């Protein structure tokens, strides 16, 4: 199971010529200007498992990405850029959760627990035989309130229940492409999964789940009101 956690990047030469999907890199449909609070940036070369699929024996696998708002904000939508074996949505609603105080081996405190119906649309470059897709929750069932200068950890986990579907949340290059809104917080994301026997382990360079990779921050977006 542990071999599923990290998707190793293609070598730079291959990544550069990977065929792009029919979505312009500047068309951030998942983070429109009027509501875009934060977009970490376009996908990099690495990714970490971030799907739930009981059909393949994985009941939970969560990437928690650190964000730090510059102003108070109300988050009403979220998205993530994934490398996946599918191009269609699985089971909705899709969970979205927010924690504070995560450290190595400790989950901190859950401060927002909600969900929303996600849609799937091509975005980015396919890699390693996987499709590049954005999972976008346009409207959460309950808004999440963020305070300025507080570090929050957010997690959106696509849901499937079949015999094959897997997916990985893409990382972001440093410096990022198409970054919007709040500054990125590097080296502050965690992986948690009872199915993998992992309890809030760091996943940046040198961390348990990204040995030799980048994984400094992940390709997510948050929308709402400042």
pLDDT greater at residue 175 or residue 141: 141
pLDDT for the residue numbered 205: 52
**Residue 13 domain-assigned?**
no
> Cα–Cα distance between 33 and 36 in angstroms, integer?
5
**Residue 117 domain-assigned?**
yes
Residue 197 sits in a domain whose CATH number is 2.60.120
pLDDT greater at residue 206 or residue 20: 206
Residues contacting 146, CB < 8 A, separation 6+: 67, 69, 72, 73, 74, 75, 98, 152
Residues contacting 51, CB < 8 A, separation 6+: 58, 61, 84, 157, 158, 159, 160, 165, 166, 167, 168
pLDDT digit string, tens, across residues 153-195: 999 999 999 999 999 999 998 899 999 999 999 999 999 999 8
Residue spans of alpha helices (H) in the chain:
12-16
Q: What's the pTM value of the predicted model, to 2 decimals?
A: 0.89
**CA separation, residue 164 to residues 33, 90, 117 (Å):** 36, 12, 22
pLDDT for the residue numbered 14: 25
**Residue 108 domain-assigned?**
yes
pLDDT digit string, tens, across residues 67-117: 999 999 999 999 999 999 999 999 999 999 999 999 999 999 999 999 999
pLDDT for the residue numbered 181: 97
pLDDT at 208 over 80: no
> Cα–Cα distance between 36 and 225 in angstroms, integer?
8
In degrees and rounded to multiples of 5, residue 12 shows phi and psi of -55, -40
Task: Tell me the pLDDT band of 146, cut-offs 50, 70 and 90.
Answer: very high
Domain count, the chain: 1
**Residue 67 domain-assigned?**
yes
pLDDT at 211 over 60: no
**Residue 5 domain-assigned?**
no
**Residue 18 domain-assigned?**
no
**Residue 12 domain-assigned?**
no
**Residue 2 domain-assigned?**
no
- Domain span at residue 46? 34-225
pLDDT at 60 over 50: yes
pLDDT at 128 over 90: no
**Residue 194 near residue 60, CB atoms below 8 Å:** yes
């Amino acid at each position: 199971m542990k071999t599923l956690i990290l998707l190793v990047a293609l070598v730079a030469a291959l990544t550069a010529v990977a065929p792009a999907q029919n979505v312009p890199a500047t068309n951030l449909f998942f983070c429109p200007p009027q509501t875009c609070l934060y977009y970490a940036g376009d996908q990099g070369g690495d990714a970490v498992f971030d799907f739930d699929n009981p059909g393949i024996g994985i009941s939970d696998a969560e990437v928690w990405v650190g964000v730090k708002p510059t102003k108070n904000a109300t988050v009403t939508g979220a998205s993530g850029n994934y490398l996946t074996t599918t191009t269609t949505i699985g089971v909705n609603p899709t969970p979205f959760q927010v924690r504070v105080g995560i450290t190595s081996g400790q989950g901190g405190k859950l401060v927002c627990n909600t969900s929303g119906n996600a849609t799937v649309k091509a975005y980015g470059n396919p890699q390693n035989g996987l499709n590049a897709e954005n999972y976008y929750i346009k409207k959460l069932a309950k808004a999440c309130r963020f305070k300025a200068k507080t570090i929050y950890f957010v997690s959106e986990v696509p849901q499937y229940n079949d015999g094959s579907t897997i997916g990985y949340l893409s990382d972001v290059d440093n410096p990022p492409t198409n970054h919007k809104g709040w500054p990125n917080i590097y080296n502050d994301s965690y992986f948690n999964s009872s199915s993998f026997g992992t309890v809030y382990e760091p996943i940046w360079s040198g961390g348990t789940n990204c040995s030799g990779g980048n994984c400094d921050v992940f390709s997510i977006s948050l929308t709402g009101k400042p």
